[in-house]
Amino acid sequence: MRKFIVRRVAYLILTYWAFITILFLIFRVTPGDPTTLYIPEGMSQAERQATLERYGLTDPLYVQYVDYLRMLLSGDLGTSYRYNAPVWDVLTTKFWNTIFLMAGAMTIAYTFGIAFGAYIGWLRGTAKEKYGMVLALIARSSPEFWIGIVLLSIFVFQLGWFPWGGIREIGAEAPASFFDRYVNWGFVYHLVLPVLTGAIYYMAQPILLMRSSMISVLNTDYIEIKKAEGLSNYTILYKHAARNSILPMVTVVALVAGLSVGGSLVIETVFSWPGMGREMVESVHHNDYPMAQGAFFLMGSVVIFMNFIADIAYAFLDPRVRYE
Amino acid sequence: MSTNQSTITTATESARNSVATAYSKSRSILEGERLAQFGVIVLAVFIFAGLFAPFIVPHDPGKINHGEDGDVLRLAEPTAEHPFGTTHLGRDVMSQVMMGAQVSLIVGLTAAAIATVVGTSVALVAGYYGGKIDNILMRLVDIAYGLPFLPFVIALVFIFGSSLYNIILVISLLMWRSSARVIRSEVLTQKERPYVQSARAAGASDFRIMFRHILPNVLPLVVLYLTFGVAWAVIYEASIAFLGFGDPDMYSWGTILYEAYINGAIRYAWWWVIPPGVSIMLFVMSVFFIGRSLEKVTNPDLRHN
C-alpha cells in the first residue's frame, strides 16, 4: 500500500507539473502577439513597451517560465486588470462560492441518485424501472444551462418563488466574516435553484451506475440466501445488496466532483452566481488574462486533487489495484 | 507453417465472425428496444434537417422579417408564417433551429470520430506493448484528465478564435482520454488470448496484430464510445456556444440560446427559448437511447430476461 501511495504521489506531482506548464503555454505562447491579450486598446507604443517590461514579457521565454513557477510556488497569481487587485484576493471568495454550490449539488445528486439507482436496479424488468431509466436519461441529455433555463422560467418567472440569480439581495453588503456570509437563510434561498440544476444534471450518472452495479450484485448467490432466510425486501435491498453495490461509486464521486468544477462555468453563468467559473468566462471575454489564468489554475488544482483522492480511495477499497 | 497459417486464418476469421455475430446480435437486441427505435427516428429527422437545412428553411435565418405594416417583426409570437416566432431582430427562429441541426451533426460526428480514432490507437499501442510505452501513454491520459474540460476548451477557443473547426479540434483534444483509458483495459485482456499468440508465432507484425486481430475484438466497445462521444460533443459545443464562444457565422443551438438568454427572452419569448433547448435535448437523448442499447451488446449483464 505504501509503495502504491508513493507511486501515486509521484504521478500526482508529474501531472501537476504538466498542468502548470500547459497553463503557462496556453496563455503565453499563443499564435500572434501575447500583448494583444495583455494590453488594453488605445495604448501608445512606449506605454506598451513599458507594460511589457513591467510584466516581464520582454524576457526570454525560459526566464518567464521560471518566474512564473516561482510566483505560483509562492502563491502569487498576479494582478487582475479589471479589478486592479491581486487575483488571489478576488478569487478567494469566488472559490468558496463555487465550492459551496458544487458540493451542495454533488451531495444531493449522489444521495438521491444512489438511493434511486438501487431502487430501480431492484425493480429490474418492470415498467417502473423503464420510466426511471428514461427520466435519468432525459436528465443526462439536458446540458446544465438548459436545465437552469427551464428551472428559471418555471420557478422564477412563472411562480416567482425564488430570486432570478445572484448570491444575496441586490445591493446587500457582503458580510465580512466567512461564517456570516454562508450561514444565513438569504444565502440558502439564492442557492436552491443553482444547486438543483447541478443536482439534476449530475444525478443521472449515479442512478445508471448504481443500477447496473445492483444488477450484478443481485445475480449473486448470497442474495438468494438472504431471500431464503425470509428477510424483507427492504432489508435485503438497502442492507445487503446496496451496500455491496456502493463500492464503485466512491471513486466515481471523487472523479465527478473534480469534473463538476468545470461545469460550474455554465450553471454560474445562468444564475449570475459570483463563482470561479463565471469569473473565468467574464475574464476571458474582457481579456483579463491573469484572472482567467488564476481561475483556471484553481479549477485544475481541484480536478487533479480529486482525481488523486479517487485513485487512493479505489486502492483502499479494492486491494487488487495495489498490485497492478 | 501450414498449420500456423490456418490458425491465423481461423483467428482472423473468428474475429470477422465475431464482428458479424456482434452485428446480428445488436440487430436482434435493437429490435426489442422501443427507446432505441425512438432514437433512430428522431436522429433521422435531425440528419435530414441537417443535410437539407439550407434548401428547406422557410426563411433566410439571418434575414430581418417585416410585418404587413412594414415594421420589423420583433419577438413575434408563432404564426403559420413563422412557426417558432421571431427573435428581437425579427429573424425566423425555426430557420435558425433547422440550421442548428447542421452544426450539431458536424461537431458531434467529427469530434467523436477524431477522439475515438485517437483514443483507440493510444489504447491499442499502450495495451499491446505494455511496459514503458504503456506507462508514458497512461500518464498522458492522466494529464488530459487533470485539465478541467470547459475552462480548457474556452481558453483555447478564445485564443485560436471561435470557428467551428477550432471548436471541433479542441473538443477532440480532450475527449480522447476516456476511450483511451477504457479500451486499453479491454486490449490488456485480449492480448493474452491464444489468437494473439498464434498470430505472433506466425510472424504477423505488431501493427497487423493490433489493427487486424485485436481491433475487431474490441470494436463493440469502440462503437459504444463513438456513440456516447457524439452525445458529449454536442453537449460541449452547445455549452461553449451558450457561454458566448460559438462560431459567430453559424446558427448553433447553443448560440441561439445564448442570444435569447442575454436578451432576456426567458421572461417573455418562450418560442425563442424552447425550440433550440428541446432540440439539443432530443438530439442527445436519441443518441443516448441508441447507445444504451448498444451497451447491452457489450455487457450481457444489462439484458433483461
DSSP per residue over A257-296, as a string? HHHHHHHHHHHHHHTT--SHHHHHHHHHHTT-HHHHHHHH
* Amino acid identity at A120: I
pLDDT level of residue B125 (50, 70, 90 thresholds)? very high
pLDDT for the residue numbered A122: 79
Average pLDDT over residues A177-182: 66
Average pLDDT over residues B73-98: 71
More confident site: A211 or A48: A211
Q: Could you give the ipTM of this predicted complex?
A: 0.83
Share of chain A above pLDDT 70, in %: 82
pTM over 0.90: no
A265:B154 CB<8 A: yes
Average pLDDT, chain A: 79
Domain ranges in chain B are 10-67+76-116+148-179+206-304
pLDDT for the residue numbered B120: 92
pLDDT level of residue B1 (50, 70, 90 thresholds)? very low
Give tens-digit pLDDT for B229-247: 898 899 999 998 998 888 8
Q: Which residues contact B295 (CB under 8 A, 6 or more apart)?
A: B224, B302
Query: Is residue B189 over pLDDT 60?
Result: yes
Share of chain A above pLDDT 90, in %: 0
More confident site: B5 or A50: A50
**Nearest CB to A146: which of B143, B243, B280?**
B280
More confident site: A94 or B301: A94
Among the ranges given (A129-138, A158-167, B242-251, B295-304), the one the predictor scored with the smallest mean pLDDT: B295-304
pLDDT level of residue A234 (50, 70, 90 thresholds)? confident
In whole angstroms, give the CA distance from residue B231 to residue B148. Answer: 19
Looking at domain A95-322, its CATH superfamily turns out to be MetI-like (1.10.3720.10)
Query: Is residue A6 over pLDDT 50?
Result: yes
Reduce the DSSP state of residue A143 to 3 states and report it: coil
pLDDT for the residue numbered B115: 93
* Amino acid identity at B123: A
pLDDT for the residue numbered B305: 41
A16:B244 CB<8 A: no
Average pLDDT over residues A91-117: 88
- Could you tell me if A252 lies within 8 Å of chain B, comparing CB atoms? no
**Nearest CB to A212: which of B148, B150, B301?**
B301
Query: Is residue B117 over pLDDT 90?
Result: yes
Average pLDDT over residues A169-194: 69
**Nearest CB to A281: which of B152, B154, B160?**
B154
- Could you tell me if A284 lies within 8 Å of chain B, comparing CB atoms? yes
Q: Taking CA A81 as the corner, what is the angle to CA A76 and CA A86, rounded to the nearest 5 degrees?
A: 30
A18:B146 CB<8 A: yes
List the alpha helices (DSSP H) in chain B: 2-31, 34-56, 93-129, 131-146, 149-160, 164-191, 194-201, 206-208, 215-240, 253-262, 265-268, 270-298
Q: Which residues contact A311 (CB under 8 A, 6 or more apart)?
A: A8, A251
More confident site: A188 or A36: A188
Average pLDDT over residues B181-194: 86
Domain ranges in chain A are 95-322
Share of chain B above pLDDT 90, in %: 9
pLDDT for the residue numbered B7: 53
- Confirm if B224 and B179 have CB atoms less than 8 A apart: no
pLDDT for the residue numbered B10: 57
DSSP per residue over B30-96, as a string? HHT-HHHHHHHHHHHHHHHHHHHHHHH-SS-TT---B-TTSSB-TTPPP-SSSTT-B-TTS-BHHHH
- Could you tell me if A266 lies within 8 Å of chain B, comparing CB atoms? yes
Kindly report the nearest CA distance between residue B5 and chain A, in angstroms.
Answer: 35
pLDDT for the residue numbered B290: 85
More confident site: B90 or A297: A297
Q: Which residues contact B158 (CB under 8 A, 6 or more apart)?
A: A284, B245
- Integer CA distances (angstroms), B194 to A87, B126, B186, B190, B198, in order: 59, 19, 15, 9, 6
Average pLDDT, chain B: 80
**Nearest CB to B139: which of A14, A31, A258?**
A14
Average pLDDT over residues B23-48: 75
More confident site: A180 or B224: B224
Residues of chain A in contact with residue B235, where contact means CB-CB under 8 angstroms, are 143
Q: Which residues sit opposite B236 in a β-bridge?
A: none
pLDDT level of residue A32 (50, 70, 90 thresholds)? very low
Query: Is residue A283 over pLDDT 50?
Result: yes
Average pLDDT over residues A216-237: 78
